[in-house]
Structure 1
Amino acid sequence: MLRRTPALVALAIGALIGTPSPVMASAEPPPDGRLTALQRDLGITREQAITRLAAEARAGRTIASAAKTLGAHYAGAWHEGPEAALVVATTSRTAAQAITAAQIDVVPRTLAQLTAVKNSLDRSAPPATVHSWAISPRDNAVVVQTSSDADARAWIAAAGADRDAVKLEPSAERPKPFYDIRGGDAYYIPSKGYRCSVGFAARRGTTLGFTTAGHCGDAGDATQGHNRVDQGVFRISSFPSDDYAWVETNSQWAAPGVVNGYSAGILPVRGSAVTQPGGSTCRSGSTTQWHCGTVQALNATVNYPEGTVYQLTRTNVCAEGGDSGGAFISGDQAQGMTSGGSGNCSSGGTTFFQPIAELLQAGGLTLVTAGGDPNPPTGCASHRETYTGSLTSGQNQIHPNGSWYQSTTSGTHAGCLDGPDAVDFDLYLEKWNGSQWTIAARGDSPDPDETLTYNGTPGYYRYRVNAYSGSGSYTMGLTRP
């Protein structure tokens, strides 16, 4: 273990440019997932949520127009009430008469004047009791959050700022920075006296944490981050038989969905499609950092001194003590967590990793991805080929990997789509008829998940994933004749 034919190409490209798509409604309703979250977190009704989203979508153009019309008299804008009604502020009652697309509030100070006040505060070092400050158009003031009014007033005076343009608000707790969960970073288990490496950020419901190796800690063990800041607690741990664990992190930690590739830079995680034998994979760990190799075997059984571990993946990537738990990743697809092996990064060797899918399923976890749906689907694994992607409403994606495939025999084409919750994603199998792509089979129910089969003759085929409504990450599987 390691704790420590050229004409056809042109034809296909032209066909991709002209990809057809289903007829879309002129005004689609917002995704149910977004409406549900707004209702829950803002305490509003579904109708108010729909009205709010529409108002917020219109606001950008309205604000730009109002600011241009009001010129030097513009004093900012804000949303008000459960339906986010737009309010525009101005210092001129006369100029206000030209604004008809929003509510108007006449105030004493312009946005430029407030900006000058804030800039003067920015140039003066604050006391520890002053926690933050920002322009508030609604208050027509710069709002200073502080735990000591006396300290704040002295600081404002020293900065030479207009005291009448500043509003003090009580603030009990000083803000603290968040620390990022990044695959490959070190973390420490004080009760055990050693160091391991972070695998991937993953959630259980709304609770954030990260995956790692089971032999790194037992359920209940506390952890510290790479910076020795208190980090979290092991909630799931299995070793031997398996070698996986999940650490629940505290509120000081955030997850951008990335791996620290050290010399390779910060790498996004966008899914968890499995790399097959012969495919390349790389590993990030806190001892030897970034190394790459190839997958040699899936479903390997390993006889460690501590006991037998099943269903690991064997690679020729090197690793050393302290790399345990670290991230194995192929491209932007999470593979698993470093388990153990032989050799080192001077002489080489064999390293095994625990596939991440088993832990995600067993622990009820979802992988956190970069810039996308924090709950990416992982289905369709039974198909011979799987692909992942992310779409926003109205977009299409072609597979395999933006291209087509040729079938030289008659037989069954089977496709599967596993989309995110509360959306309507559709799957189409398309065949080239000599001049254009035509739909041979479809899965276009109002649900996020689709399956289709088609008994086809030899020819050129492709799959198209369409986000009819809603946005998020998906997994698509296909099996060819």
Structure 2
Amino acid sequence: MQRRRIAVAAAVVAAAGAAVAFTLPSMAGTTPSSTKPASTRSGVAPQILAAMQRDLGLDGDQATARLKRAKWASGVSATLAAKTGSDFGGAWLATDGTTLKVAVTNAGAADAVRAAGAVPVMVKRSEQTLDAAKEKLDAVRADAAGVSGWYVDVKTNKLVVVAKPGRTAAAKSLAAEAGVKTDAVSVLTSPATPKPLAGTDLHGADPYFISLAEGTARCSIGFAVQGGFVTAGHCGSAGDQTFDQNQVAMGSVKASIFPGDNDEGFVQVTNGDSLQPFVNDFKGNLLPVAGSTEAPVGAAVCRSGSTSGTHCGTIEAKNQTVVYPEGAVTGLTRTNACAESGDSGGPWLAGDQAQGVTSGGSGDCTTGGETFFQPVNEILAINNLTLLTTGGDASTPPSSAPTEEPSTAPTDAADACANLPVQAQGSLNRAGQAQAIPGNGAFRANAGRQVACLDAPAGADFDLFLQRHTATGFRTVAKATGTGDKTLSANLRSGVYRYVVVASAGSGAYTLGFAAP
């Protein structure tokens, strides 16, 4: 990991990620008295609706309907991804913001899509196949000269490589070097040069400061979590000391990744500053954070930043690799919302649902541009963090298996098991026999909590394992063992998963219900 996170033009750094909308509105001595919780319309702050009207041309009712539909689509997409396994080709909301389209590779899966109220689209390649192609490109990202990034486009069922003007041949050569089939790749030419959205603007809008060897860097808080807050990874390295806007020692950076697999950071607050589940819109209002349900491709999303204020756009792609001057970062979400220097680290919302923190982009809010954010659920899962919400509950509570290490899952998922959306039946005839679910391969899940319940036959001892696909094959990340029925709950990062039911003793038929984010 690089120690030098922020490009500096002088010995003293006055800019790293800049002051952006954040979730510490009641920090002692830091909140203007005019700042107040925003009233909501059907759970959506009017400031978000106003921004959607300005940027997307939607009136209040249309904006509210789109946000509600996106939340529904998120749950349906996750269920279908788990149910159809390796036949799943991705999901997105159409340009009308209400029609959910789901790509699948066979007719049987298409029937399941229709039954769920979505529109099936037959495609050649599954999302897992395209993800595998993207991982090949990720493996050669050090050779990405002339290329600014790549991502899976579920709408066209291809891997899109973004090339700089005149460098189309370089993009094709990179894909060929990685071993990606020609017919699975399309090249998009763009003059944009993404960069981390750090800035030198010293606005008086809820900053915090990081002490670096080069000097003092300035960033902003993303979302409040138990014990601190999340922000962009390029805002400092683990161990860096932090200070609040009154220059009072706040705590330190406990975790940070940039560049590489993420652009994410976690700052632990130890000075007694009050953490609350709100986003400052810099107009005297606090926007509520009620959870972190991940919105689908095609959904409307809004971000807030101290430089450019609140702006909205649409999610265009997920899991994009972006090539920054400091190195490539994978796993980012691509949007057409604008942002400017100084907006780094700030929060993204879909209604009242936390989506991520600003990583970088290109352009500005005068001429337009593109912006990438780091999904917040990935940060929570990797660091075993709990998002603070207005309901006072944990939207992603800590798990005994936050990393990819085998563990025994807790038994607090019993209540969630009664109506789990995916049900699978099977039968094990002897001790030592095992079956993988889904039977047609595996399923892709977003970062967040996965829960499962195994109804085992009386008198038998069946164990349940949840496995994540890695470069060396499937690896157990959570398990539930012992006698009787099993419940499993684990907060995990995004990836491809499968369940395995193993007969330790006895035989008979079983039922497995499970849900993934």
Shorter-chain TM-score category?
0.3 to 0.5
TM-score by length of 2: 0.39
Query: Relative CO higher for 1 or 2, CA cutoff 8 Å, sep ≥ 6?
Result: 2
Structure whose alpha-carbon radius of gyration is higher: 1
> Which structure shows the bigger proportion of residues in strand conformation?
1
